């Protein structure tokens, strides 16, 4: 089959590779759409290395049609499905506690095992048995279904930090994840959403997707803007949606007493940041991280997209064929694109 192969850091090449070899119970999908994630870029650039193999095939946001069911009678050939790409064990202490996104025996598609920047993708039996393969709702496009994965991760972040009705929310960074945070916070009932982003195109996109105020942190004073919008109090929630460590401390200054801060974005390995510990102490702040997604969040994301109430189509700004994978990744890395799809 044809695939976009990660050969080493900074090198993805479109080439012919062996077809996936199926073990008993494995499912084979023909990939119909896969979207590029910030994580793919971090892996390509060598900023994420844990669990990465060379060569391997990236791509963990995808949907496709069933070629081989692997004997799982709930699916049939030709059926449109999408996959929650983190397979939890269901048995470890975190799975037992309902935090399957933190499973200690997790297998992640798209780097630990080959992903969907290819003609075909193998879904290991383990993932099907764990309930990670979902039938796509009627009428949903493959590329929109692929967005169920990032939406689920954003949902996990907002559940952790508790975005709720009437909140003033500040989002730092308006890449695809920041913009998904804007859309979901609006949907969750936020009254006021302020987005800080240096890139003008991304600011425009955030505004178009529902932010109330966007600003350039290099030019305007974010703290002043947040105070002015909240009667001097500060925001209820700040979400760091770009992996710049120093923003963690900035976020502490943006929220009110008992405000909540989400360090949503992944940071480069081994980086540290200075933190005003007294701000957390005296202001009784809550600071949380967020990692991955659960099957429940994936199911809810699919249902939300299918409901038509949360529209994601406008996020898909660029489409490429698989043979143009290198260009697709470059475009996704630059500011002009929100979501780049391989179709």
Residues binding Zn ion (CB under 5 A): 37, 61, 88-89, 92, 95, 103, 150
Over the range 244-261, which residues count as b (16 or more CB within 10 Å of their CB) and which as e? ebebbebbbbbbbeebbb
Residue 177 beta carbon to Zn ion: minimum distance, rounded to whole angstroms: 8
Q: How far apart are CA 174 and CA 68, in angstroms?
A: 39
Q: How far is the CB of 52 from Zn ion (least distance, A)?
A: 15
CB nearer to Zn ion: pick between 22 and 92: 92
Nearest to 66 by CA among 57, 56, 76, 74: 76
Which class for 74: exposed (0-12), middle (13-18), buried (19 or more C-beta within 10 A)? exposed
Smallest gap from Cβ 144 to Zn ion, in A, equals 15
Q: Which of 331, 324, 319, 321 is nearest to 14 (CA)?
A: 324
What is the smallest separation between the CB atom of 86 and Zn ion, expressed in angstroms? 10
Shortest spacing between CB 18 and Zn ion, in angstroms: 26
Least distance between Zn ion and beta carbon 89 (Å): 4
Query: Distance between CA atoms of 289 and 31, rounded to whole angstroms?
Result: 32
Q: Among residues 61 and 236, whose Cβ is nearest to Zn ion?
A: 61
Task: Give the residue carrying structure tokens 């990939």.
Answer: 31
- The rounded distance, in Å, linking the Cα atoms of 144 and 219 is 35
Nearer to Zn ion, 92 or 140 (CB): 92
List 214's β-bridge partners, or say none: 195
243 or 259: whose CB is closer to Zn ion? 243
C-alpha–C-alpha distance, residues 202 and 211, integer Å: 11
Tell me the two tokens of residue 56. Answer: 């391997």
Q: Give, as one character, the DSSP assignment of residue 118.
A: B
Q: How many residues are recorded in the chain?
A: 343
Closest approach of Zn ion to the CB of residue 225, in Å: 30
Structure tokens at 34: 């896969």
- CB nearer Zn ion, residue 141 or residue 156: 156
235 vs 329 by CB, closer to Zn ion: 329
């Amino acid at each position: 089959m044809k695939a976009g192969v990660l050969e080493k850091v900074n090198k993805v090449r479109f080439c012919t590779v062996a077809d996936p070899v199926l073990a008993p119970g494995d499912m084979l999908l023909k990939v119909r759409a896969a979207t590029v994630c910030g994580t793919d870029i971090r892996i390509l650039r060598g900023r994420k290395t844990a669990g990465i193999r060379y060569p391997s095939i990236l791509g963990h946001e995808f949907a496709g049609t069933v070629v081989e069911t692997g004997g799982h009678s709930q699916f049939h050939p030709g059926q449109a499905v999408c996959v929650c790409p983190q397979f939890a064990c269901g048995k470890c202490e975190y799975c037992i506690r309902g935090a399957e996104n933190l499973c200690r025996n997790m297998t992640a598609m798209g780097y630990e095992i080959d992903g969907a920047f290819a003609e075909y993708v193998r879904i290991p039996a383990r993932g099907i048995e764990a309930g990670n393969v979902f039938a796509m709702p009627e009428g949903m496009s493959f590329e929109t279904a692929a967005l169920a994965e990032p939406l689920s991760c954003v949902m996990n972040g907002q559940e952790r930090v508790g975005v709720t009705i009437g909140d003033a929310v500040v989002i730092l960074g308006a890449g695809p994840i920041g913009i998904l945070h804007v859309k979901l916070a609006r949907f969750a009932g936020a009254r006021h959403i302020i987005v800080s982003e240096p890139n003008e195109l991304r600011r425009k996109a955030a505004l178009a997707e529902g932010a109330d105020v966007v600003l350039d942190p290099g030019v305007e004073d974010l703290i002043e803007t947040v105070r002015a919008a909240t009667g001097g109090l500060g925001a209820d929630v700040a979400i760091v949606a770009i992996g710049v460590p120093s923003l963690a401390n900035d976020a502490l200054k943006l929220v009110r007493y008992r405000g909540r801060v989400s360090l949503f974005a992944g940071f480069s390995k081994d980086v540290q940041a200075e933190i005003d510990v007294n701000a957390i102490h005296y202001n009784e702040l809550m600071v949380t991280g967020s990692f991955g997604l659960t099957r429940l969040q994936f199911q809810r994301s699919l249902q939300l997209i299918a409901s038509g109430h949360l529209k994601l189509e406008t996020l898909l700004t660029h489409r490429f064929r698989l043979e143009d994978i290198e260009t697709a990744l470059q475009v996704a890395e630059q500011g002009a694109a929100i979501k780049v799809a391989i179709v």
